[in-house]
Amino acid sequence: MTATPVSAPAPTDPANAERRALLSSILDEAIAATHPRKCLVGHLPAPTPGRLIILGAGKAGGSMAAVASRFYRQEHGVPEDRIVGLAVARHGYGEEAPGIRMVEAGHPVPDAAGIEATRKALAIAESAGPEDEVLVLLSGGGSANWIAPAGALRLPEKQAITKALLRSGAPINEINAVRKHLSRIKGGRLAVAARNAKSILTLAISDVPHDDPSVIASGPTVPDPSTLADARAICERRGINLPESALALLNDPANETPKAGDPAFARAEYRIIARPIDALEAAAEAARRAGYEPVMLGADLEGEAREVAAEHARLALEARQAGRRVALISGGELTVTIRGEGDGGPNQEYALALAIALDGAEGIAGIAADTDGTDGGRGAATDPAGGLVDATTLVRARAAGLDPKAMLLDNDSTRFFATIGDLVQPGPTRTNVNDCRVILVD
C-alpha cells in the first residue's frame, strides 16, 4: 500500500520530486505504525475456559477482528464453539476473520447493512452470561457502522440528520453527542446490553482529538458525559431540522444515556491501543532520518481546514526565511463548513488552501491525508484520502484551466487535485488515527 498520488504529476526538478516521494513514504510509515497488526496482539487477553464474544466496529473493525481471530484460533487453538463474533466495517474495509462474521456497511452515512449488523451485535451482547467474556474492538467509523435508531426514528431520518451535521461543520464530539441520544447502542448502551457478562474489555484505536473514549465510535461501552440537553442545544446551534421522531427522543428523560456509576460499567475495562500521536511520532522519525528537524504542531488540532492551512503556510514560509530545514507535522480532525457544490474533504481542502497560501514558494511541499484512506467522499472504498502540494501546484492547475481560489470557495478540492494528478489515494488502510499532515521546508 502506498500513498503515492493517483497519477504522475508534471515533470519537476529532482529536489522537488525527492520531496514528493519522501512525503508519500512518511505517510506510509505513519499509517503502518498504527495498524492492528502492530498494536493489537499485545493487548489481547489470554483465552479462558468460558465463551469469548468478539464484537468489532469501525474502519479498523475488520482488521482488528482478523488479528484477534488468528490470535485465538491459530496461536491458541481455541475451538469454534467457544467464540462468537461479529465485526462491521466500512464498505471495502472488511477482512477475512475465520469464525467471526464480517459485515461491510455504510460510512459516513449509515445504511441498512449497518442496521442489520448492529441488531445482531446487540443480540449477541444480550446473550452474554456470567461465564462469558466480551471483547469489543473499536475504531473510528464505528458511529456510522453500528447504527441502531432508537424509538420511532427511521433509517432515512437518521441518514438525513447525519448528513446535516456533517455539512454544518460540527466537530466530531458534537456530532457524536447527538448520535448517542438517537441510538440503542451508542453512549454506553452496548455495555448495558452485555451487563450480565463476566467482563467487558474494549480495545480501541483512537481517531478523535484528545483520545476521549466517550467520543471514539460514540462510546458504546463507556459512561456518556453528554446529555439530552447538550444534543438539543447542538442541533439548535447548528440549524439541524429534526423530524418528530428525533425530537421525541431528545425530549424524553427516559432516553438519557447511562452515566458514571451505572452497574453496567462495574466490570468494564477500556484501553486505547493506538493514538493519533503514535502515527505522528512515526512520521517525525521518518522525517528526522531524512535530515529534517521535526516540528510538532499538535496531534489534536481542530478548526476550519482552510484557516488552519493558512496558519501552517505562514509557519512554513517563516521557517524557509530563517533558513531552517524542517518538517511541520500535525494531526487532529479539521472540519469543512460546506457552502459550495463541489466534492472534497478536510484534508483535500487543507491542501488546496495550503497551496494557495504558499503561492508557489520554492523548496516547500506538503501532504495532508486521513490515515483511514478516505477523506470525505461518498462512501466508496476508492474515495481519496487527501492531496499533495508543491511549488508547481498552482502553475500546473492554471495551465489546466483551473481557478484555485474559486474552487476553494466551491469546496471543490477533489476535482482540483484529480485534474493535476495529486490526489492521495492509498485505498483502505484498515486503521484510523485521524489526519496526518506534513510540510517539508528546505
Q: Which of 23-27, 165-169, 179-183, 248-252 has the lowest mean pLDDT?
A: 165-169
149: helix, strand or coil = strand
Element (H, E) at 439: strand 435-441
| Residues making up the chain, counted from first to last | 442
- Does the pLDDT of residue 6 top 90, yes or no? no
Mean pLDDT across 348-369: 98
Confidence at residue 296, expressed as pLDDT on a 0 to 100 scale: 98
Q: Which of 327, 243, 234 has its CA nearest to residue 285? A: 327
378, exposed or middle or buried, with CB in 10 Å at 0-12, 13-18, 19+?
exposed
The cell numbers describing 353, all together, are 488552501
Categorize the per-residue pLDDT at 36 as very low, low, confident or very high, splitting at 50, 70 and 90.
very high
- Gap between the Cα atoms of 343 and 348, Å rounded: 10
Confidence at residue 3, expressed as pLDDT on a 0 to 100 scale: 58
Mean pLDDT across 4-25: 76
Confidence at residue 7, expressed as pLDDT on a 0 to 100 scale: 45
Q: Which one is predicted more confidently, 333 or 404? A: 404
Confidence at residue 378, expressed as pLDDT on a 0 to 100 scale: 78
Q: Which DSSP string do the residues of 59-104 spell out, in sequence order?
A: TTHHHHHHHHHIIIIIIS---GGGEEEEEEEETT-----TTSEEEE
- Does the pLDDT of residue 190 top 80, yes or no? yes
Confidence at residue 1, expressed as pLDDT on a 0 to 100 scale: 55
- Gap between the Cα atoms of 84 and 99, Å rounded: 7
The cell numbers describing 438, all together, are 506534513
